[in-house]
Amino acid sequence: MTCCHPESSPSPSPEGARAAAEIPAHPLDPLRADEITTARRVLEEAGKVSPTTRFPLVLLDEPDRHAAAAHRPGDPVARRLRITLHDMATGASAEAVVDVTAGLLLSWRELDVATEGQPQVMFEEYEVVEAIVKADPGWLKAMADRGIDDTSLAVCAPLAAGSTVIERPGRRLLRCLTWLRCDATDNAWAHPVGGLVADVDVVERRVVRIVDTGPVPVPAECGRYEAEFNGPARADLRPLEISQPEGPSFRLEGPLLTWQNWSFRVDFNAREGLVLHRIAYRDGERERPVLHRASLAEMAVAYGEAEESRNWVAFLDAGEYSLGRNANALRLGCDCLGEIRYLDAVVSDDLGNPETLPNAICIHEEDHGLLWKHTDIFNNMAAESRRSRRLVISYIATVGNYDYGFYWYFYQDGTISFEAKSTGIVQTSAVEPGAGSPYGTEVAPGLLAPYHQHLFCVRLDVAVDGLANTVEELDVVPVPPGPDNPAGNAFTARTTVLADSAEGGRTADTTVGRRWRITNPGSLNRMGQPVAYTLVPQPGPVVLAQPGSPVARRMAYGTKHLWVTRHRADRRYPAGEHPNQHPGGAGLPEWTAGGESLENTELTVWHTFGPTHLPRLEEWPVMPVEATGFSLKPTGFFDRNPTLDLPREAKGGHCAV
């Protein structure tokens, strides 16, 4: 079978495009191509664009939650874009805000890149830096010292430099590790060149330092994972068809999606990728908000090797590499299965021109097993059960060697969950064959897959039944023996209100089943208790780099599983606005210094999670999916099970007697 489906065209027909354009504009609609074009024109007319100007990031300047909530169909909409600019010739960078509705430049600010950090790494720089390294005499000599005279099949991977500073702060750097290929189609990750790093000044376009800790044999064994290298294919799989003859149960009106009792707006941007706005659940006649905004705001990949040529390797894939710009074009039967609806995404390229990412977002339904069941032993074993169905909104991004799938799940009982699936190829380094390492797994002779962490961080602008919320930490604890617990069996729930911003950074604790309850003190359920949603974590270790280390400073959000902050429009990203080459400490550590009340007010909840990855032999040469995530569960939000109205037998023959 092929991965393309004739009923799922990659782009809308002209009629479909015209219909979409007729939908009334909303202030939270995704970025449009004409808006990006207008923003570039406004900046050109203001004299802010030269032939060497680049556009690392172009984003919608989202309206505040009150303005978004007040909008009604047909209301006029003023749209503004936040734009980061960088001059490839001078290294100067700036931030601009452009009103693309009025065609006005509203603000312009030069960035102090030495203290504020650099703009994101741009696609153009990958090729530029590789060419610089391959022409450098120092790198060529280091390769020759390793017996590698033909460098035509070398791959120089430009990587974010972290907080590295050479000679002067503010220098725009990329650091290059090297891999080899046997031929143009070979898996380069199988052949790392050990002990060699080239530091490149991207503005001066030269290698400013070579770090060479000495030759290590280049692993020789190939790591091909394609079907033609691993046959014959299994022949005992029978077809598995998923069909919805009447079409899917969800409805899309432009970016507004409704399914069962859920409704929300689907958005996508170059930095965070998929963003969901104004998530609400219809409860009878009421449309009840749950989240104003939800996104994966940052993700770090921090490696644990101690050797000089590798001890700096740690990346922030959203803040340094623009995670959303790396989205895949999804294919039916390969990336998504079932009755699929795809959405394109529009971002800016490096030159400030609109670029369409086809089939970037996948939307579909899937069966999720049993929702609830009971067999009544007092009534002739009469049984009632219902199947669970969930709505899936997803996208996949490839950043270097890793591929990541990001999935938001919506359930009929009011639960929301998020899952990140890591696959692709583990990053590799070289060791003496058979020597191994305390910092990784030797997955092939001389090929080390270093230990590392994936630290995902979601931003949840909470709005549980309204904007005024409070977060409580909930632990399950035993009751001490005594008059209140004579048999010693009792345990109870202990609740701690997170009242001040200084208390906003929290660590999970599986020994007490720790979770966090987001309540609305102004909205009570029928038992007189505040309605709530509970964040149920799947915790792993927090950042393992030593406190005060460059990695720990730059990825400080990863030192806690949960952060709670007062909501502010400029608090967008957990590691700060410009984490590329930032010295660290920006973002969440600044916003949780103390002195701000967190009770009964507008809040953002930031949740950090992810695996500490100790690679296995079974993950080479390509890694089976590793999944991680969390759930948001209604807790007294409803007065009883909200799925009692599901039919006994859904169309399609479920629960046949």
- List active site positions: 317, 402
Measured distance CA(387)–CA(382) in Å, rounded: 17
Asked if residues 469 and 561 have their Cβ atoms less than 8 Å apart, the reply is no
Q: Name the residue among 630, 310, 612 with its Cα closest to residue 455.
A: 612
Measured distance CA(469)–CA(522) in Å, rounded: 8
Q: Name the residue among 135, 141, 132, 155 with its Cα closest to residue 201.
A: 132
Non-local (6+) Cβ contacts of 136 within 8 A are 198, 206, 207, 210
Asked if residues 293 and 277 have their Cβ atoms less than 8 Å apart, the reply is yes
Measured distance CA(296)–CA(584) in Å, rounded: 20
Amino acid letter for position 93: S
Q: Name the residue among 383, 284, 268, 283 with its Cα closest to residue 324.
A: 268
Non-local (6+) Cβ contacts of 14 within 8 A are none
Which spans in 361-518 are helix H?
Answer: none
Quick check: helix, strand or coil at residue 622? coil
Measured distance CA(42)–CA(48) in Å, rounded: 9
The end-to-end CA distance of the chain, in Å, is 35
Q: How many helices (H) and strands (E) does the chain have?
A: 8, 32
SS3 annotation, 159-174: EECCCCCCCCCCCCEE
- Quote the tokens at residue 418: 């998020």
**Helix (H) / strand (E) containing 137:** helix 137-145
- Could you please report the per-residue DSSP string of 377-420? TTTTTEEEEEEEEEEEEEEEEEETTEEEEEEEEEETTS-EEEEE
- Quote the tokens at residue 179: 């891999």
What's the sign of the alpha-carbon dihedral 442, 446, 452, 454? negative
Asked if residues 129 and 158 have their Cβ atoms less than 8 Å apart, the reply is yes
Give φ, ψ of 279 to 5 degrees: -80, 125
Query: CB-side exposure of 616: number of CA atoms within 13 Å?
Result: 8
Q: Name the residue among 185, 178, 191 with its Cα closest to residue 222.
A: 191
Give φ, ψ of 110 to 5 degrees: -75, 140
Q: Name the residue among 566, 297, 582, 588 with its Cα closest to residue 458.
A: 297
What's the sign of the alpha-carbon dihedral 238, 239, 244, 250? positive
For residue 240, count CB atoms less than 10 angstroms from its CB and return exposed for 0-12, middle for 13-18, buried for 19 or more.
Answer: exposed
